[in-house]
């Protein structure tokens, strides 16, 4: 490819809306252009990257007996109603009507579609285990688009679905996919990958892991222990949270005029926030109201709370809903409430004594509140003691007791054990040896192809631009011809270009009439791993200069050795991303 004819221009300035490095560099280097919020066009350079990533993913899925298929993006509403997800997924699922007034959705994932297929294609236990996968366009009406192609609405994803006779078979295959994902991420050049326990979320199932790129620009929070193997997304992380026990003191009501927040109350009474009780009222999709009591210095892990109440929807309760149970907003606790409200008490409230809690009276709080003694409830039938405080750095590891650390990460892949949620919903039955039917259990495995490309840039760049691993670089070699006015320079550069193309390499030739500074800057911005510099001076010396983008090392080589030297360098670069068997 001649750079003069390459579709896509380099830009000097960062896009105004770009927050992270990968977004800035991909736009400036001519890889990516925005059409609408979270919707992009992929220019030729990025498309070449995505095709190479897709081929690596395809090879690894085929190696574990995956069979590639392609399922539709547009699906009838009824397919999603069978699993209940049409009703439970909110605005992220894009709904529309076709010309026949039939209600449809744009699929954000394909569990329904693959279960529909499995019902007609899986008949006997002899077909199991079985895994099918696709690399397909999807649409999720994401409310928080950010980071260029890191979080978008329209995206290409590899999603795989496996079917198994039982949980043991699923568990064994799940481990195979886990190892295949590790190989994929190594082959595309990612180094700082963490595997963490995760919340299955809308997918359902009992076990889920996320593969996270450890990076400061990540959108997820990862909790990990440096002393053992514990790693988890903050949404599901647990910890041993130290309490503050002391001898019980007498409960007293004190005036706290116009002090409704934890910060205001703690400052007014001159106590630390961990000596307070926070009362948070929530409501679910059926308008059931819940009171959560938690230590004042802690946030509520709403993911865990949603699981406890068995609802995918959670909102803060309105004032009239709170008052219905005798609670006073801003001054609430369990003491003095009417019966009928469900109460969740975090263990942080039980592990500390003599706390400040609301008195359910305007302008008043209690001091020396101790749950076991002072809850004030006539009966505890609607009370649950649980762990749902958000984990923080330096809490103690639930496995070994050492202090936990917190970092940020980008989710680059996920795997789920789904159980029989979808096969039951679609009545997918398979015959066993005795001719009896059973519901197969499923696994689900996703990788965002575009997100993976953006994550590689996020990890592999410098101040001058992108540094692509050769395994997914749009081209393996860029030839930079300096001073085109000298016909010998362009002639020699073109000769090398043709020779290397003949040898089977992906080559980009910068044939533009630009200054050396512009060409060098653009080459570093684009990020192709091997650069060959051709100039009038070097031709006179029968030399060429080779630069490695990864470390900016430069070497002079004899012009007669160019083909063998490039072949050696390319092979050496590929070896960095080879997976040892």
Residue 526 CB coordination number (10 Å):
28
At residue 201, the pLDDT reads 65
H or E segment to which residue 507 belongs: strand 507-510
Domain covering 13-67+110-228+406-458, topology: BirA Bifunctional Protein; domain 2 (3.30.930)
Strands of 172-219, DSSP E? 193-197, 207-214
Phi, psi angle pair for 504, to nearest 5°: 95, 15
The rounded distance, in Å, linking the Cα atoms of 429 and 128 is 12
252-386: same fold as 13-67+110-228+406-458?
no
User: What is the model's pLDDT at position 440?
Assistant: 97
CA distances from 439 to 115, 118, 128, 131, 325 (A): 11, 11, 12, 16, 45
Q: Residue 396, class by beta-carbon neighbours within 10 Å (0-12 exposed, 13-18 middle, 19+ buried)? A: middle
Tell me the C-alpha distance between 571 and 26, whole Å. 26
Element (H, E) at 162: strand 154-164
> What tens-digit pLDDT sequence spans the chain (581 residues)?
999 999 999 999 998 888 899 999 999 999 999 999 999 999 999 999 999 999 999 999 999 999 999 999 999 999 999 998 998 888 899 999 999 999 999 999 999 999 999 999 999 999 999 999 999 999 999 888 888 899 899 999 999 999 999 999 999 999 999 999 999 999 999 999 999 988 776 666 678 999 999 999 888 999 999 999 899 999 889 899 999 999 999 999 999 999 999 999 999 999 999 999 999 999 988 889 999 999 999 999 998 898 888 877 889 999 999 999 999 999 999 998 887 889 999 999 999 999 999 999 999 999 999 999 999 887 787 899 999 899 999 999 999 999 999 999 999 999 999 999 999 999 999 999 999 999 999 999 999 999 999 999 999 999 999 999 999 999 999 999 997 677 889 999 999 999 999 999 999 999 998 999 999 999 999 999 999 999 999 988 999 999 999 998 999 999 899 999 999 999 999 999 998 76
Domain boundaries, the chain: 13-67+110-228+406-458, 252-386, 468-575
Q: What is the DSSP letter of 127?
A: G
| Three-class DSSP labels, 484-506 | CCCHHHHHHHHHHHHHHHHCCCC
The CA angle 408-395-415, to the nearest 5 degrees, is: 45
Task: Indicate left, alpha or beta for 542 from its phi (over 0: left) and psi (-120 to 50: alpha).
Answer: left
In this prediction, residue 203 carries a pLDDT of 60
3-state SS, residue 231:
strand
Residue with tokens 């031709």: 539
* Direct distance between the N- and C-terminal alpha carbons of the chain, in angstroms, rounded to an integer: 35
Span 468-575: which CATH code?
3.40.50.800
Task: Report CA 38 to chain centroid distance, whole Å.
Answer: 15
Of 115, 123, 80, the C-alpha closest to 429 is 123
Q: Which of 480, 486, 487 is nearest to 517 (CA)?
A: 480
> Global pTM?
0.89
Q: Are 256 and 269 in contact (CB under 8 A)?
A: yes
Q: How many CA within 13 A on the CB side of residue 311? A: 15
Q: Is the peptide bond before 129 cis (omega within 30 degrees of 0)?
A: yes
Helices then strands, each counted (H, E), the chain: 17, 31
Helix/strand/coil for 327: coil
Phi, psi of 138 (to 5 degrees): -135, 165
What CATH class has 252-386? alpha beta
């Amino acid at each position: 490819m001649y750079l003069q004819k390459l579709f896509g221009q380099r830009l000097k300035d960062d896009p105004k809306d770009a927050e992270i490095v990968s977004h800035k560099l991909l736009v400036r280097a001519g890889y990516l252009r925005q059409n609408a919020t979270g919707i992009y066009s992929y220019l030729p350079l990025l498309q070449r990257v995505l095709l190479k990533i897709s081929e690596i993913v395809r090879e690894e899925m085929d190696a574990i007996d995956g069979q590639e298929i392609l399922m539709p993006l547009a699906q009838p509403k009824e397919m999603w109603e069978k699993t209940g997800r049409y009703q439970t997924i909110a605005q992220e699922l894009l709904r529309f009507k076709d010309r026949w007034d039939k209600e449809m959705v744009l699929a954000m994932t394909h569990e329904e579609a693959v279960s529909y297929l499995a019902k007609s294609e899986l008949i006997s236990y002899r077909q199991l285990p079985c895994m099918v996968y696709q690399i397909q366009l999807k649409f999720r009406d994401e409310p928080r688009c950010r980071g260029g192609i890191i979080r978008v609405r329209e995206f290409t994803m590899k999603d795989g679905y496996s079917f198994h006779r039982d949980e043991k078979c699923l568990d064994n295959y799940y481990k195979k996919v886990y190892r295949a994902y590790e190989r994929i991420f190594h082959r595309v050049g990612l180094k700082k990958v963490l595997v963490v326990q995760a919340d299955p979320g809308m997918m359902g199932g009992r076990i889920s892991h996320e593969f996270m790129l450890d990076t400061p620009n990540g959108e997820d929070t990862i909790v990990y222990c440096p002393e053992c193997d514990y790693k988890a997304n903050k949404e599901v992380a647990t910890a041993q949270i130290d309490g503050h026990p002391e001898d019980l003191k007498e409960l007293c009501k004190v005036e706290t005029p116009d002090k409704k927040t934890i910060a205001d109350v703690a400052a007014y009474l001159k106590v630390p926030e961990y000596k307070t009780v926070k009362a948070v009222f929530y409501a679910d999709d059926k308008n059931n109201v819940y009171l959560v009591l938690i230590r004042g210095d802690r946030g509520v892990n709403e993911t865990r709370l949603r699981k406890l109440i068995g609802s995918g929807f959670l909102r803060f309760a309105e004032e009239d809903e709170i008052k219905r149970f005798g609670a006073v907003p801003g001054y609430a606790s369990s003491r003095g409430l009417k019966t009928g409200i469900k109460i969740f008490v975090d263990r942080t409230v039980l592990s500390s004594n003599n706390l400040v809690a609301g008195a359910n009276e305007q302008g008043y709080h209690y001091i020396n509140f101790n749950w076991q003694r002072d809850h004030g409830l006539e009966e505890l039938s609607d009370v649950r003691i649980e762990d749902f405080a958000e984990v923080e750095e330096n809490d103690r590891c639930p496995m070994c007791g050492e202090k936990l650390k917190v970092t940020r990460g980008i989710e680059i892949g996920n795997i789920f054990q789904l159980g029989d949620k979808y096969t039951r919903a679609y009545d997918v039955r398979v015959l066993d040896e005795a001719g009896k039917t059973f519901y197969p259990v499923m696994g689900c495995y996703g990788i965002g192809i575009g997100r993976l490309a953006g994550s590689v840039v996020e990890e592999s760049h410098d101040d001058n631009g992108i540094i692509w691993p050769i395994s997914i670089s749009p081209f393996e070699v860029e030839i930079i011809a300096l001073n085109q006015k000298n016909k010998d320079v362009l002639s020699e550069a073109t000769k090398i270009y043709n020779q290397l193309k003949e040898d089977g390499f992906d080559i980009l030739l910068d044939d533009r009439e630009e200054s050396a500074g512009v060409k060098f800057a653009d080459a570093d911005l684009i990020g192709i791993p091997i650069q060959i510099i051709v100039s009038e001076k070097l031709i006179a010396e029968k030399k060429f200069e080779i630069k490695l983008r990864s470390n900016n090392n430069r070497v002079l080589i004899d012009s007669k050795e160019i083909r063998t030297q490039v072949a050696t360098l390319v092979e050496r670069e590929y070896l960095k991303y080879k997976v040892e068997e």
